[in-house]
Amino acid sequence: MAKKVSKRREALLQKIDKTKLYSIDESIALVKELKSAKFDETVEIAFNLNVDPRHADQMIRSSVVLPHGTGKTVRVAVFAKGAKVDEAKVAGADFFDADELIEKIQAGNIDFDTVIATPDMMGILGKVARILGPKGLMPNPKTGTVTMDITQAVKDAKGGKVDFRVDKKGNIHAGIGKVSFDSDKIKENLITFVKKINRVKPSTAKGKYIKNVAISLTMSPAVTIATSELMDLR
């Protein structure tokens, strides 16, 4: 049985030409017109890449710091000891007591968005890896969350860092700002993200790398962007 489309969504769909591939500027202007929720909707970007994550050398996992942030308040938990705990406090981390954090996580009380750890704390984190892993919160060197530079890691997390990972179908999805952002800020965030996607292209990926890209709002249909404009962004 076909799912009934609401009047609100039908009105939004009528604003989009599904046969057209929009330029970056056109897609951003249009997606801002699709605002329909009472809250500040997230601008989301979705990529479909020509990679096969079943092969280890085509598994894409990385992070990018958006120049204008995501518009989201990020709560950061840091696992460290000694002077690095003090560094975490000064940097603005929200949680930094390792023993207390382990207890919170084991009790299912996860009220933070990012976990950062120094390398010597990874053994302790092994106790809760099965809890943090499925939630995408386990620190990883590839995303810069296992590091001795706690100050920079906390600054990046608070300032607009986005971790991303390709799924089994070659898709990557992330938020790149809020609809209330100026169009220029959304564009700069989008271009920064695309440049990162191009830089992490696996050397073994053949053919057209970026197959499809679309942006949308939390409550809107998607607007498809012409990939020809994105392929050369480095």
Return the exposure string of 97-130: e unless at least 16 CB atoms fall within 10 Å of the residue's CB, then b.
ebeebeebbeeeebebebbbbbeebbeebeebee
Residue 234: its pLDDT value, please?
Answer: 75
pLDDT of 65 > 90? The answer is yes
Within 8 A by CB and 6+ apart from 75, the residues are 94, 95, 111, 112, 113, 114
CA gap 112, 33 in Å, rounded: 32
Asked if the model's pLDDT at residue 78 lies above 90, the reply is: yes
Predicted local distance difference test score (pLDDT) of residue 68: 95
Kind and range of the H or E element at 175? Answer: strand 171-178
Residue 182 reports pLDDT greater than 80: yes
Residues in the chain: 234
Superfamily grouping for domain 76-158: Ribosomal protein L1/L10, domain II (3.40.50.790)
User: Which residues sit opposite 57 in a β-bridge?
Assistant: none
Using alpha carbons, select from 74, 100, 91, 63 the residue that is nearest to residue 159. 74
Phi, psi values for residue 140, rounded to 5°: -150, 135
Helix axes 83-91, 150-159, angle to 10 degrees: 30
H-assigned helices in the chain: 7-13, 24-33, 83-91, 98-106, 122-125, 129-132, 150-159, 183-199
Please state which of the ranges 3-17, 21-35, 123-137, 164-178 shows the lowest mean pLDDT.
3-17
Kindly state the percentage of the chain with pLDDT values over 70.
Answer: 98
Specify the pairing of strand 76-79 against strand 114-117: parallel
Instruction: Kindly report, residue by residue over 31-64, the tens digit of the pLDDT.
Output: 999 999 999 999 999 999 999 999 999 999 999 9
Pairing of strands 223-225, 114-117: unpaired
Give the start-to-end residue ranges of the domains of the chain.
18-69+161-229, 76-158
Q: How far is C-alpha 197 from the geometric centre of its chain's CA atoms?
A: 12
CB atoms within 10 A of CB 182: 12
- Per-residue model confidence (pLDDT) at position 1: 45
Q: CB neighbours of 69 closer than 8 A, spacing ≥ 6?
A: 159, 160, 177
pTM: 0.85
Hey, how many other C-beta atoms are within 10 angstroms of the C-beta on 219? 17
d(CA 14, CA 1): 23
Mean local confidence (pLDDT), 122-133: 95
Fold of 18-69+161-229: Ribulose 1,5 Bisphosphate Carboxylase/Oxygenase (3.30.190)
